[in-house]
Amino acid sequence: MIRHAISDLNGWLAILAIVLSSSAGDVLLSRGMKQIGDLGTLRSKRGLVFVFLLVSRNRYFLLGVACMAISFYSLLFGLSWNDVSLVGPAAASLTFVANAIAAKFFLHERVDRRRWAAALFVAAGVVLMAF
Amino acid sequence: MTFRKYLVLAGVSVFAPVGDSLLSYGMKQIGNISLTHFSELLLAITNPWVALGILFLLGFFASYMTALSFADLTYVLPASSMGYVLLALIARFALHENISLLRWLGILLVSTGVGFVTSGPELTRRPPRQRRNDGEVAMEHS
């Protein structure tokens, strides 16, 4: 009984860690890429090596990748405590909603009703698709 | 949105599920790896399916970064979730797996969400003074 409760608690802690770190990672990556500009245009003007160097030296990009690594290890931790059928869909769907909130406040994106609806529909859809 | 940008979004949607599936197929061929034989994990990339899966995931990351460079995060994430639908359709029609009613409903919800977001603008319009590295004005990308 207690063992089951600990397993559940660790599973949900892992889901929280995945959602927070992966949203932080997405926000940082998005910020880094917006700072650099359209990669397609840059590539045609300055070449692939230039774009690669520009991206790999961007500090937001590097921090974003670090957050993604934390998210990946949190997923592994979560999977060791709970089923993939809970951790996978719960983390994926909550990340869609957390990303919409984070993008509104940290990236100042215009998250209108259409985008809220899209995030909620996709989040609900991802949960249902796990069945 | 230009045709090139739609192609990049399609890349994000397709590369991730196909890469994951290839990795999964390859790792099942290799079998369980215990923590005491950790070096086997490094040798896993010599499996052609795993190597191909990694190539696809690199393709995903490159397309994802390109998509984030011209569109909002709240546009790219829902729009690229078509990959979930694609994976389910591959499972149904190529692998002949059974898809439950709830899963079909999930496919419908995800597709509706994608429809919502792609019918709007892909980038939040900023004041023209915000210039980018390539010297273009953010507003010109819409």
Residue B79, CA distances (Å) to A87, B30, B131 in order: 23, 34, 26
Concatenated DSSP letters for B57-96? HHHHHHHHHHHHHHS-HHHHHHHTTHHHHHHHHHHHHTS-
CA distance B10 to chain A (A): 15
pLDDT for B52-61, tens place per residue? 999 999 999 9
Let me know if B120 is exposed, middle or buried by CB neighbors in 10 A (0-12, 13-18, 19+). middle
In a 3-state reduction of DSSP, which class is residue B137? strand
Query: What pTM was estimated for this model as a whole?
Result: 0.84
Query: Whose structure tokens read 């290839």?
Result: B22
Which of B47, B131, B77 has the alpha carbon at shortest distance from A125? B77
Q: Flag if A125 and B65 touch (Cβ within 8 Å).
A: no
pLDDT for B79-133, tens place per residue? 888 888 888 887 788 778 888 999 999 999 999 999 999 888 888 877 665 555 5
pLDDT at A101: 95
State which residues form the domain around A63. 2-129
Among B65, B81, B120, select the one facing A39 at the smallest CB separation: B65
Calpha distance A103→A125 (Å, rounded): 21
pLDDT for A23-80, tens place per residue? 999 999 999 999 999 998 999 999 999 999 999 999 999 999 999 999 988 988 888 8
**Sequence ranges of the domains in chain B:** 3-122
